[in-house]
Every structure is written in C-alpha cells, then in structure tokens.
Amino acid sequence: MGLSLALLGPAHADWQARASADFANLAPYRLILLGEQHDAAQHHTLQTELVSWLTARQGLAALVLEMADQGHSTAGLDPSATETKVQTALGWSESGWPWADYGPTIMAAVRAGVPVLGANLPRPAMRAAMQNTALEASLSPEALKTQDERMRSGHCGMLPESQIRPMTRIQIARDQAMAQSMAKALAPTGAVLLLAGNGHVERHLGVPVHLGTLAAQARVITMQAGSANTLGSQADLVWPTPALTPKDYCAGLSTGR
C-alpha cells in the first residue's frame, strides 16, 4: 500500500491527468474511499473528475457523503433537479460544508442518475455514542490511543480530559455509520464511492475497520496537499496536490490553564 503519484506542483498543468491515470485501476473495486483535506480546492476538483469519469462508464452505483447525515438522499429525484432541491434532499448545511466546494461533484452524480446518500451519524445519535463504551472494542488499543490524541490536538488542547474518550466514541460511531451506508448502497454493478476527510478513510482506524470482510473489496485513496506523505501506510493510493498556505487553527485560542 502507499503507492503515490509523482508530486504535482503548481507548475504542472497536467496534474489532473496524472491522477486520472489511476482511475482505470479502480474498476475492479466495489467500494472506493476517497479522503480529502476539506479546505483544499484541488481535492474538490479531483472528486468531480473521478465522479465524472465513473459515471461516463456507468461505473458508479452510489455517491456516499460524510457531508450529509444518514437518512438524507437524492434517490427519487429527477436527474434534472435543481441544486436547491438537491440541497434540500440532502439536508445540506452550508455553514459546515460550502456548497461551492461540493456542489459540482454532487451534481455530476445527480445528473447521471446516480443516488447521492448521506452517511454521517445524525447529531441526535451522538449523545448515545458518547456513552457507548462498547464502541471502543472495535479498534485496536493502538488505534484507540491514536484517535484519543487526535481528539486532543483537534480541539487545540482545550477539551477537558474527561471528554476525550467520549469524543473518540463519536468518531468511531461516525466511521461505523459511513461503513454501514456504503455496505447498504452496494449494487450488482458499479462502485460505491465515499467522500470523507482523510482521517475517516484510514485503513487501520477509520471506515475500513468497520467494513468487515468487505474491506478486501475496497480501495482507499487519500489526497494530500503538499509533499509530506503522512498517510501512505494507511492508503492504497496517495494523490498529492499543490501545497496550501499553512494555517494555525489554534492561533489566538487559550486553554485557560
């Protein structure tokens, strides 16, 4: 695993074509997990390219999204449905997920008659997940420790230690929900494609863990902005894209300690 494309810098006008060269190798897989960095514009472009490539070959059975909750779907909508109708069907949250980023990819699927399905854990279910200690058994001790540390750093060290593990349980439950949504969307032909953050698609602690035997039929791809390959061992393919200007999301925050 961890096969990478050559790094695609800003000067390479053919970066999309280089990634597209890998598309044909995805044909045998029934499940494709495509991880993104949410604020990387090039990643959204690649998502649209992949969806368009698959639909042109009738190779996409369903598009599954972290960005919409379970229970929301475009199934039943006419392929000519307006973007407003699509957003309503998906219960789209513009504040959390800018439609300008994800709309082109979603509409490429809708226009091709491919259902788009919400896969994230609905917010009302999160409280129960926080208290469900049984969720911890689905990860190895090492993976559980990694998830705890990500919760800690992801909240800039401001989350009380007593809340770290409950937040980790939510993360596990979210990954389980996405895995369940993918399995449910399987069809006799075509692949089910999941779009999610890179952390959700990692082989050893994300959605693939919860796919069970179906994980053998899955292809995991991560897109990474810049040259550092931090997820190579957790993915089958790494698609590098031009680096972004570094952002310190914790700058100006105080832990109060």
∠ CA 48-102-106 to the nearest 5 degrees? 65
d(CA 19, CA 6): 9
Does residue 211 form part of some domain? yes
Residues forming a β-bridge with 32: 193, 219
Does residue 18 form part of some domain? yes
d(CA 10, CA 6): 13
pLDDT at 188: 95
Q: In terms of residue numbers, what domain contains 109?
A: 3-122+186-241
Does residue 230 form part of some domain? yes
The DSSP-derived string for 117-155 is EEEEPPHHHHHHHHH-GGGGGGS-HHHHHHHHHHHHHHT
Note down pLDDT in tens along the chain; length 257 residues: 444 444 444 434 455 566 667 888 898 999 999 999 998 999 999 999 999 999 999 999 999 999 999 999 999 999 999 999 999 999 999 999 999 999 999 999 999 999 999 999 999 999 999 999 999 999 999 999 999 999 999 889 888 999 999 999 999 999 999 999 999 999 999 999 999 999 999 999 999 999 999 999 999 999 988 765 555 568 999 888 888 877 776 776 654 44
Does residue 170 form part of some domain? no
pLDDT at 158: 86
Does residue 254 form part of some domain? no
Does residue 142 form part of some domain? no
pLDDT at 6: 43
Does residue 165 form part of some domain? no
Q: Which domain CATH number covers 219?
A: 3.40.50.11550
Does residue 247 form part of some domain? no
Comparing C-alpha atoms, which of 62, 163, 43, 155 is closest to residue 112? 62
As for how many domains the chain has, the answer is: 1
